Structure 1
Amino acid sequence: MASPIFTLWGRLNSHNVKKVAWFAEELGLKYVRNDIGGQFGYTEDYLVKNPNRLIPMIEDGKVVLWESNAILRYMAAEYGGERWFPRDPIDRALADRWMDWQFAYAEAQRVPFLSHARTPREDWNHEAIATGVAACARHMAVLDKYLSGKPWLSGDTFGIGDIPMGVYAYTWFSLPFEKPEFAAVTDWYTRLCKRPGFAAQVMIPLT
C-alpha cells in the first residue's frame, strides 16, 4: 500500500491543528497526523523544517508548510478546486477576511480557555476571565450581525472562511462561564456540529 501523501504534524488539542485536520476531512484527503508539540515535544528534524517551535506543519511531497491559515489556503487551492478556492478574487476575499479576523478573537479567548483547560480552579483569575469573556462577546456580536444575513462566513455555502472561527466557536460554546447568547451564531454553530469532520476533529474535550 502506498504511503499517504499528506502528513499533518501537531497534537489535536491545538486549535490550529484542529483547523487543518477538519479541513482534510472535508476535502476527503488521505492523510496521517503525527503528535508533536506540547507534551509531545519537538524533534530536531521537525525544528529544522519549522524553526518556530509551533504547530501545525504539513508535508505533502510538494511543499513543507507552516502557519495554519496559510495551510488552509494552500489545501483549498491545491486540493479543493473551484468549490473551495473560488476563481473570483472578491468571493475569495470575502471569506478570507474571517480567517484573519479569527486571530483577534483567539487573543480575546486566550485567558478564559487557558484558565479552564490548563489552570487549577483555585488559581483562576476571575477578573481576567470575565474581561476575556466580555472581549469574546464583543467579537461574537460582530459575527452574529453578519450571520444574521448570510448562512456561512464564506457566503452562501460552507467554505474555508468558516473553519478557523468554527474551531474557536466550539471552545466558546464549551467554556463553563456565563456568556451572552447570540441566535445567529448559535444557528451557524449547530449546523457546523452536523458536519462529520467537525464532530470528529474539533469536538474533543478541551482538557
Structure 2
Amino acid sequence: MIILGKDTSINVRKVLWTCAEIGVSYQLKPSSGTDVQHLNPHAMVPVVVDGGEVLWESNTICRYLASKHARHDLLPAQPMARAHVEKWMDWQATELNTAWRYAFMALVRGSAAHTDLTTIAASIRDWNRLMQLLDAQLSHTGRWVAGDNFTLADIVLGLAFNRWLSTPMERPALPALSAWAQLLGERPGWLLHGANGTP
C-alpha cells in the first residue's frame, strides 16, 4: 500500500496512526497535494493506492483500513455501535474543523489571509466551545470517545486535540480531556503521529 502525503499533515497522520494500530505496512511517498491531482481531483492528501484502487479523504481511508483488516474494535461491525463511532468522526470533519480553521491559520500558520482579529476571536470561542462538548462526552463515557473501547473516533479526534493544545491561545481547563490524554499516551501510535510536536 502506498500513502501519498507528508507526515506533518494532520490528515495524513490519522492514516499513519490507524496503520500503526492495525500493523499495516505501507510506503509513504512525500506529496504536497498538487502533484496528486491526477489521483484526487481536489489535489489534497492523503491519497492511498491499494491493490490498484485509489482512495482519498482521511476519515474514509481510516474506515477502509479498519474494515479491510476486520478491526471491529476500531470500527464495530454492529450498525448502531459503528454509527456511534462514525458520528464523532463526521463531527470532527465538519463541525470541529470548521471551528478551528481560521484561528489555526492565523496563529500557527501565520496566514496573511487570516488576520481579522474579530474572526480569530470568534474561531477561538467556537473551537473551545466544541472542545467542551468533547470533554462532556468523555466525562459521560468515562474512558474513550465512543464508549469503553478505543476506536477510530479517538484517532481522528486525538489529532484534533493535539492541534488544540499546540495552538497559542487561551483554553479552558477540561479535566476529562486531560484524563483522555493520559490514556492516549499509552498508545505508541499516538506518540508517533499525535503527540509528536507537530500541530
TM-score, length basis structure 1? 0.87
- Corresponding position of 1:135: 126
The answer as to 2:151 corresponding to 1:156 is no
Contact 1:11/1:35 (8 A) holds in 2: yes
Letter in 1 for 2:160: Y
Helix, strand or coil for the counterpart of 2:28? strand
- Corresponding position of 1:201: 193
Q: Does 131-140 or 197-206 show the bigger shift?
A: 197-206
Residues 58-94 of structure 1 deviation map (CA, whole Å, 9 limit, x = unaligned) = 1121521011111111111001433223221011001
The answer as to 2:16 corresponding to 1:21 is yes
Contact 2:144/2:180 (8 A) holds in 1: yes
TM-score, length basis structure 2? 0.90
Deviation at 1:34, TM superposition (A): 1.2
The answer as to 2:86 corresponding to 1:96 is yes
| Number of aligned positions between the proteins | 196
Cα separation, 1, equivalents of 2:25 and 2:5: 16
Deviation at 1:186, TM superposition (A): 1.6
- Corresponding position of 1:83: 73
Cα separation, 1, equivalents of 2:153 and 2:162: 15
Cα separation, 2, equivalents of 1:102 and 1:130: 20
Residues 156-180 of structure 1 deviation map (CA, whole Å, 9 limit, x = unaligned) = 1101111111101001111121111
Q: Does 164-173 or 125-134 show the bigger shift?
A: 125-134
Helix, strand or coil for the counterpart of 1:59? strand
In percent, how many aligned pairs have the same letter? 33
Letter in 2 for 1:139: L
Contact 1:57/1:66 (8 A) holds in 2: yes
Contact 2:22/2:71 (8 A) holds in 1: no
Helix, strand or coil for the counterpart of 1:152? coil
Helix, strand or coil for the counterpart of 2:99? helix
- Corresponding position of 1:3: none
Aligned with 1:11 (options 6, 25, 32)? 6
The answer as to 2:100 corresponding to 1:106 is no
The answer as to 2:137 corresponding to 1:146 is yes
Cα separation, 2, equivalents of 1:107 and 1:83: 28
Deviation at 1:183, TM superposition (A): 0.8
- Relative to structure 1, the CA distance from residue 66 to residue 120 in structure 2 (aligned partners, 3 Å threshold; closer, same or farther) is closer
Contact 2:14/2:155 (8 A) holds in 1: yes
Cα RMSD over matched residues?
Answer: 2.0
Deviation at 1:99, TM superposition (A): 0.3
- Corresponding position of 2:162: 170
Contact 2:99/2:126 (8 A) holds in 1: yes
Cα separation, 1, equivalents of 2:173 and 2:166: 13
Contact 1:13/1:204 (8 A) holds in 2: no
- Corresponding position of 2:39: 49
